[in-house]
């Protein structure tokens, strides 16, 4: 555990200390995952350890609780209005695109050169978690679908390689905003209404004290304990001979539901939940990297997966544009909605600041909605692929 936490702390320290340009293209997440891979494969740390088991069984569910109790759906709707529905259509596009990309990957006759295993639906579901919510949903979906370290490697590689192309598209789209808005017949007062609503929203956390931290611990540990108990007694769900909801899947779905229920109570106002959650999830990512055996890695498989991910992202883009046409929303909202899906809470504010800085709070709220949906829809994406693949 000391090694894993040290790896996470080191890479964030290096990013903040040096401000290297490298981290704009390869965020610390990549190095946090890769460093334990090297450490375990060179024998510095083991492939299996009780610390890894602890993080998987207890750390991940507690992270989900702390992440999701901050979700504020009504706040996002007040500011972005119909833009929230555009983001939801984009999320549906991620599900549809993931299933279609998996199906294409299985049917195209490139198997001798770029083999995609039949069980790569786990990797597609894992990446869907990142593209609907964020890193936390990616790891939660990975656990819920009982994926291997190789599945997370494929998902993480595709996530970064595709976003290196997609982010400049979202940022550069600002130049076409006026033409796009006229073409979509966007109401002229829409942007002014959003900015007025955003100005009234206060997203600041108060300073945490001992009592608030105890409340957070009670929620995180209590919900984890209840969800673990229920997941062990609830029966598995079998569809067409395939087990689509296992005990691990029940755990992720239950703890997600409990946290979202808590988010409509005063628990949402508890400070420090998000930074604690993110600290946990980065250590968990390091834990997954430590279990990756490079002797089992197939770089041709990763290449095939990345190619399908490019097909997938443009299907999501098509859905986003259809949503913009249906609801007559501006290009700024479209870019923020896509960033809230594909980039999550880390990237949505960057896109928002580039388009309309006043919409940064709304972009964070939209990304949190992605967090809320990510676990459900990512697991759904993977399981549909499982059923298609037989």
Angle at 61 between CA 56 and CA 62, to 5 degrees: 110
pLDDT for position 204: 67
- Listed by start position, the domains of the chain span 2-20+27-199+210-388
Per-residue pLDDT reduced to its tens digit, 267-307 = 988 998 988 988 998 899 899 889 888 776 566 788 889 99
**Cα separations in angstroms, 51 against 218, 287, 290:** 22, 8, 11
pLDDT for position 240: 73
Integer Cα distance of 96 and 381 in angstroms: 8
Integer Cα distance of 20 and 18 in angstroms: 5
CATH class as words, domain 2-20+27-199+210-388? mainly alpha
The residue ranges of the chain whose pLDDT is under 70 are: 109-115, 198-204, 296-299, 390
Per-residue pLDDT reduced to its tens digit, 83-124 = 889 999 999 999 999 999 999 888 875 555 556 888 899 999
Q: Are 366 and 353 in contact (CB under 8 A)?
A: no
Predicted TM-score (pTM) of this structure: 0.85
pLDDT for position 296: 62
Using DSSP, state whether 328 is helix, strand or coil. Answer: coil
Of 121, 138, 157, 127, the C-alpha closest to 63 is 138
Buried b (16+ CB within 10 A) or exposed e, 135-169: bbbbbbbbbbbebbbbbbbbbbbbbbbbbeebbee
Using DSSP, state whether 298 is helix, strand or coil. Answer: coil
Per-residue pLDDT reduced to its tens digit, 120-157 = 999 999 999 999 988 889 999 999 999 988 898 899 88
pLDDT for position 190: 78
pLDDT for position 86: 92
Instruction: Please compute, for residue 382, the number of CA atoms within 13 A of its CA located in the half-sphere on the CB side.
Output: 31
pLDDT for position 189: 79
């Amino acid at each position: 555990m000391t090694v894993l936490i040290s790896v996470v702390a080191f890479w964030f320290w290096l990013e903040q200390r040096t401000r290297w340009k490298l981290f704009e293209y390869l965020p610390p997440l990549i190095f946090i995952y890769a460093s334990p891979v090297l450490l375990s494969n060179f024998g510095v740390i083991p492939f299996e350890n009780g610390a890894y088991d602890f993080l998987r069984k207890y750390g991940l569910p507690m992270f989900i609780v702390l992440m999701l109790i901050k979700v504020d759906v009504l706040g996002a709707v007040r500011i972005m209005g119909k833009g929230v529905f555009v983001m939801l259509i984009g999320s549906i596009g991620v599900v549809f695109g993931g299933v279609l990309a998996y199906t294409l990957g299985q049917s195209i006759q490139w198997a001798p050169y770029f083999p995609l295993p039949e069980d790569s639906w786990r990797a597609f579901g894992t990446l869907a978690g990142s593209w609907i919510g964020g890193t936390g949903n990616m790891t939660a979906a990975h656990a819920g679908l009982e994926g291997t370290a190789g599945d997370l490697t494929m998902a993480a590689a595709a996530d970064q390689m595709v976003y290196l192309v997609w982010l400049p598209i979202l940022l550069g789209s600002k130049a076409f905003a006026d033409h796009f808005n006229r073409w979509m017949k966007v109401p002229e007062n829409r942007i002014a209404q959003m900015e007025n609503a955003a100005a009234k929203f206060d997203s600041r956390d108060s300073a945490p004290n001992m009592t608030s931290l105890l409340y957070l611990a009670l929620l995180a540990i209590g919900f984890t304990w209840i969800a673990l108990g229920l997941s062990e007694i609830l029966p598995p769900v079998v569809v067409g001979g395939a087990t689509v909801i296992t005990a691990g899947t029940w755990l992720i779905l239950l703890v997600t539901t409990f946290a979202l229920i808590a988010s409509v109570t005063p628990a949402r106002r508890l400070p420090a939940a998000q930074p604690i959650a993110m600290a946990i999830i980065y250590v968990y990512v390091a834990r997954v990297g430590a279990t990756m055996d490079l002797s089992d890695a197939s770089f041709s498989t990763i290449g095939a997966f990345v190619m399908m991910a490019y097909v997938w992202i443009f299907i999501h883009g098509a859905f986003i544009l259809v949503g913009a046409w249906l609801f007559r929303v501006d290009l700024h909202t479209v870019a923020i909605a896509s960033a809230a899906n594909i980039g999550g809470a880390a990237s949505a504010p960057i896109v928002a600041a580039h388009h309309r800085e006043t919409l940064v709070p709304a972009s964070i709220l939209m990304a949190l909605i992605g967090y809320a949906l990510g676990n459900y829809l990512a697991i759904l994406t993977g399981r549909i692929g499982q059923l298609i693949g037989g």
